[in-house]
């Protein structure tokens, strides 16, 4: 198999060798019996040697085309000068001319064309042919061979250019795929951050509360545990949906839906891995969980609610989720206010907390709440930029903190 592979890789070399041998054999066989009455002599040993010198160099015509042409043309001229029949060796120089025109610039090709024409006129003069006929043949035949070589060179350049463009297109497609994968990874990272940060913060706060009042206020502890159960169920449902999107097998969705761990396939997912992404309609449920974590939340809607694009609603939902999570982590038990304002061509969502300290205020980082990594604000800004919106974040003049998201709403949800 190795020698077959090498033979295929070097096909141009052995193909040229076959052509050189074929031309030599045909010229030797034809030269034994020249045309009757032409006056040309049959080939003898010297004639055969010259025939080999005319055609054998064609085996390396691609490597040194000019040298091959000059050798072949000089041997052909000597062959004619010794009164051997010129026709039998005419294919070798013509093929060498074609190679020069196909592989070298135009000027060397034209010079070789003129040289072949001169040898052709010399052959006609040796044969005693009429001058107009010889000149016509010397002008037409070499010109055709040169034109064929130039056409082959142009075609090869076009093929090379097409190959370059194809490779460039493949590189650009690979780059686009890598960028798309990186963008999807960033999107999933934002989703995971929002889900884990919000739900786990609520769970941790409620867990600490339940442990604190487990003996003194059993009913409060049961309420905290119920909130933990509901929050974890919803969080696991969202995680299950995102993990399903990460599956790479085309058949995983068909036979793998029932193979997830029970914790990831709870009732929140509804038995399907493709539950709708959360939107503005679920902010009230989120506010209820935050209230259970000890942060009073007031919701207010301004303007006339209307259906929005799913991506816009998801962006607004995640920003509110992150803002309220930060209130739980850093400002609990300050009062929080969420205002959703529907404008003519934009949606404005504002989350504020009063930052008050009335003696009930806990330290910035409770023991059962992990410190923030600082990626929340970055994720909110990226979401706003992704949908062409703006995010204004900063402390309020009268205390507390304010997060204001503005999103354009010119694009409506499909089918709404």
The secondary element (H helix, E strand) that includes residue 3 is: helix 2-9
User: Within a 10 A sphere around the Cβ of 240, how many other Cβ atoms?
Assistant: 21
- Is residue 251, in this structure, part of any structural domain at all? no
- Expressed as residue numbers, the domain containing 316 is 279-416
- Is residue 221, in this structure, part of any structural domain at all? no
Select from 129, 150, 176 the last residue of a domain: 129
- Is residue 218, in this structure, part of any structural domain at all? no
CA distance 134 to 35: 18
CATH number at residue 288: 3.30.565.10
Lookup: tokens for 163: 């190959």
In a 13 Å sphere around the CA of 176, the CA atoms on its Cβ side amount to: 6
- Is residue 226, in this structure, part of any structural domain at all? no
Instruction: Compute φ and ψ for 388, nearest 5 degrees.
Output: 75, 20
Lookup: tokens for 333: 């038990």
Predicted local distance difference test score (pLDDT) of residue 349: 94
- Is residue 326, in this structure, part of any structural domain at all? yes
Q: Which residues of the chain have pLDDT under 50?
A: 248-274, 358-373, 411-416
- CA quadruple 27, 31, 36, 39: dihedral positive or negative? positive
- Is residue 182, in this structure, part of any structural domain at all? no
Number of domains comprising the chain? 2
Question: Which tens digits make up the pLDDT trace of 283-322?
Answer: 998 888 888 888 899 999 999 888 887 778 888 888 998 8
270 dihedral zone (left: phi>0; alpha: psi -120 to 50; beta): left
Q: How far is CA 95 from CA 90, 98, 230, in A?
A: 9, 5, 85
- Is residue 349, in this structure, part of any structural domain at all? yes
Predicted local distance difference test score (pLDDT) of residue 197: 65
- The residues that bridge with 351 in the sheet, in sequence order, are 338, 403
- Is residue 290, in this structure, part of any structural domain at all? yes
Classify each residue of 249-263 as buried b or exposed e, where b means 16 or more C-beta atoms within 10 Å of its C-beta: eeeeeeeebeebeee
Q: pTM for the full model?
A: 0.46
Predicted local distance difference test score (pLDDT) of residue 410: 63
Predicted local distance difference test score (pLDDT) of residue 72: 93
């Amino acid at each position: 198999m190795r020698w077959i592979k090498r033979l295929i890789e070097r096909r141009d070399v052995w193909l040229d060798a076959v052509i050189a041998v074929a031309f030599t054999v045909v010229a030797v066989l034809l030269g034994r019996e020249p045309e009757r009455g032409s006056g040309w002599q049959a080939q003898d040993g010297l004639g055969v040697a010259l025939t080999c010198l005319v055609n054998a160099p064609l085996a390396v015509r691609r490597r040194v085309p000019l040298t091959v042409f000059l050798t072949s043309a000089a041997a052909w001229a000597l062959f004619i000068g010794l009164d051997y029949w010129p026709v039998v060796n005419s294919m070798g120089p013509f093929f060498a001319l074609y190679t020069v025109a196909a592989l070298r610039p135009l000027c060397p090709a034209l010079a070789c064309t003129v040289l072949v024409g001169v040898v052709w006129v010399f052959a006609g003069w040796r044969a005693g042919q009429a001058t107009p006929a010889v000149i016509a043949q010397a002008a037409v035949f070499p010109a055709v061979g040169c034109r064929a070589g130039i056409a082959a060179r142009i075609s090869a350049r076009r093929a090379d250019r097409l190959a370059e463009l194809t490779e460039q297109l493949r590189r650009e497609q690979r780059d686009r795929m890598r960028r798309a994968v990186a963008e999807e990874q960033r999107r999933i990272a934002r989703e995971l951050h929002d889900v884990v940060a919000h739900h786990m913060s609520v769970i941790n706060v409620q867990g600490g509360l339940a442990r604190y009042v487990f003996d003194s206020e059993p009913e409060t502890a049961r309420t905290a545990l119920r909130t933990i159960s509901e929050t974890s169920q919803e969080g696991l449902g969202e995680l299950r949906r995102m993990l399903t999107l990460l599956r790479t097998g085309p058949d995983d969705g068909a036979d793998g839906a029932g193979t997830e761990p029970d914790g990831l396939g709870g009732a929140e997912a509804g038995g399907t891995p493709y539950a709708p992404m959360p939107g503005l309609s679920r902010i009230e449920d989120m506010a209820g969980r935050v209230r259970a974590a000890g942060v009073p939340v007031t919701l207010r809607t301004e303007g006339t609610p209307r259906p929005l694009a799913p991506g816009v609603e998801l962006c607004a939902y995640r920003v509110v989720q992150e803002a309220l999570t930060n209130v739980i982590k850093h400002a609990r038990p300050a009062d929080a206010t969420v205002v959703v304002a529907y404008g003519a061509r934009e949606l404005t969502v504002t989350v504020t907390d009063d930052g008050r300290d009335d003696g009930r205020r806990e330290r910035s980082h409770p023991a059962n709440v992990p410190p923030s990594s600082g990626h929340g604000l970055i994720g909110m800004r990226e979401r706003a930029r992704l949908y062409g919106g703006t995010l204004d974040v900063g402390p309020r003049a009268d205390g507390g903190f304010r997060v204001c998201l503005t999103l354009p709403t010119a694009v409506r949800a499909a089918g709404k």
